[in-house]
Each structure stands twice: as C-alpha cells, then as structure tokens.
Amino acid sequence: MIFYHKRAFSSIALLAMVSYSSLSASATDDELAKSIIKLRGEVETLYSTIKENKQRYNSEMKSLSAQVIDLQAQINRKKTSIKLLKDDLEKIKSKIQESADSNKDVKPLVLDALDLLEKTIKEGIPFMVEERVASLHKIKSDLDEGLITNEKALALTWASYDDAIRITKEIGLFKQQIEFNGKEVLAKIAKLGSVALFFSTPNNEVGYVVKDRDGYSYKHITDPEDIKKIVALFDALQKQIKTGFFELPNALVLQGGN
C-alpha cells in the first residue's frame, strides 16, 4: 500500500514537471516572437529614416549645387563690373590730370590752407579731432593721387573751413573716445560751442576739458553740487533743450583747471 502511494506521488510530480516545462517553453516562444516583431518594427523604422535622410540629402545637394552655380555667376558678373569700373576710373584720372595741369598754381594754396586748418583743429577744443583731421588728409591724398581736381580740392577745403566755423558755434550732445584715467573710453560729450566741453563716462563719472601747457586734459569732478549741474546739462541736451538758464561749474576751456 505504501509502495502504491509512492508511485502515485512520483507520477504526479513528473506530470507537474512536464507541464511546467511545457508552459515555460511556450512563454519563452511568445517572448521571442514579441521580441522579433519589435525588432522588425525598429528595423523598418530605421530603414524609413535612412530613406528619408537620403532623399533629404539628395535634395540639399541639388540645392547647394544650384547655389554654387548662382554664386559663381554672381562672382563673374562682379569681376566684370570691377574691371569696367577700373577702366572708368583710369579715364576719370586722365581727365582730372588734364584739368589739373591747367591749374597747377592752385594746388600749393590748397595744401597750405589744409595745413593751416589742421593746425587750428589740433590747437582748438578737442572735439572729434582725429575724424576732422582725417578728412583733411583724405583731401590731400586724393589731390596728390589725382583722384580729384584742384578745383574740387579747393571746394572741399572751403567746406572744411565752413564746418570748422559751424563747430565753434554748435551746442549739442555727442559721443567720442576720450583719454580718462589713463584709459580710452567712449564718453558722452556736451559741447558748448568752442567755450566749454563736458563729458560723462559709461561709469557715470563726469567732468570737463581744461587746457594746459601740454594741450588738453579731462578733469574729473567729484563735488556733488557740480555733478548735479553737469548731469542737468546732459539731461537738457538729451531733450533737445538748448536755450534757457543753466548753472554750470567754471569750465571755460581758456581758464584751464581753475
């Protein structure tokens, strides 16, 4: 009887093991099938992406090729245009030289006038000095190279003198590079004709120009009351207010640092 129960138990255990193995195998096959389906989907997605990228690349290459052809055509047109301009410039130079030869006596007078104006600008209030002197040098160089006639140089010189006279009367707000505390800074400039010139740095430091033996320097103002006066002047000029009563520090250029 005991033997019979042992055999029955063994049979049940064996049947359970076979069933479990079958279930495990079936579950593994399902997972494998799902993995294969998933991988197949990913492969198809990658293939579609590659195909789209290839089409996009081909389109971009065609577009770039067209751009290269267009740019080359533009370059060729520019080269032709530059060549024509150079030819025209040479013709103009020849005409200018022919005209200048008949008025050679004017050139020394123009150069002397330009030298005198340059000296006046450098000795005057330090307002846009480099730019103004550079414009005079350009007249000289254009005249020397035959790019302008003596008459044209004379007209430009006359206009430069008119501009210098205008600047001596002009009141306004400007920007220019100044040397302040040993550094070059882009400052706001309040210019009152050729009488006084105030400045305000990006750090809100204010002051005015003074003249000494070595030229001009920028005096820094620290007195609170004088600072308020200068700030009020800048505010007024910013609002295009150029007439009225303004109380200012003693900043006359000719009085120097008093």
- The 10s digit of each residue's pLDDT in 104-150 is 677 888 888 899 999 988 888 889 999 999 999 999 999 888 888 88
**Size of the chain, expressed as the number of residues it contains:** 258
pLDDT reported for residue 5 = 43
pTM, two decimal places: 0.56
Q: Are residues 1 and 95 in the same domain?
A: yes
CA angle 61-67-71, nearest 5°? Answer: 145
Overall number of domains in the chain: 3
**β-pair partners for 171:** 192
Range of the domain at 236: 171-255
111 lies in the same domain as 195: no
Residue 256 is predicted with a pLDDT of: 41
Whether residue 140 is found in the same domain as residue 56: no
Q: What dihedral do alpha carbons 21, 25, 30, 34 form, nearest 10°? A: 130
Residue 170 has pLDDT above 60, yes or no: yes
Other C-beta atoms lying within 10 Å of the C-beta of residue 165: 11
* Residue at a domain's end among 133, 152, 168: 168
Q: Are residues 56 and 68 in the same domain?
A: yes
Where does 106-170 show beta strands of DSSP type E? none
**Pair 154, 186 in one domain:** no
Other residues' Cβ atoms within 10 Å of the Cβ of residue 191: 22
Residue 80: predicted pLDDT: 74
Most confident of 18-32, 50-64, 101-115, 208-222: 208-222
Nearest to 197 by CA among 184, 208, 186: 208
Contact indicator for 253, 197 with CB cutoff of 8 Å: yes
> Domain boundary residue among 100, 122, 155?
100
Instruction: Report how far residue 200's alpha carbon sits from residue 188's, in angstroms, rounded to the nearest whole number.
Output: 5
Find tokens 């138990």 and name the residue: 9
pLDDT at 137: 95
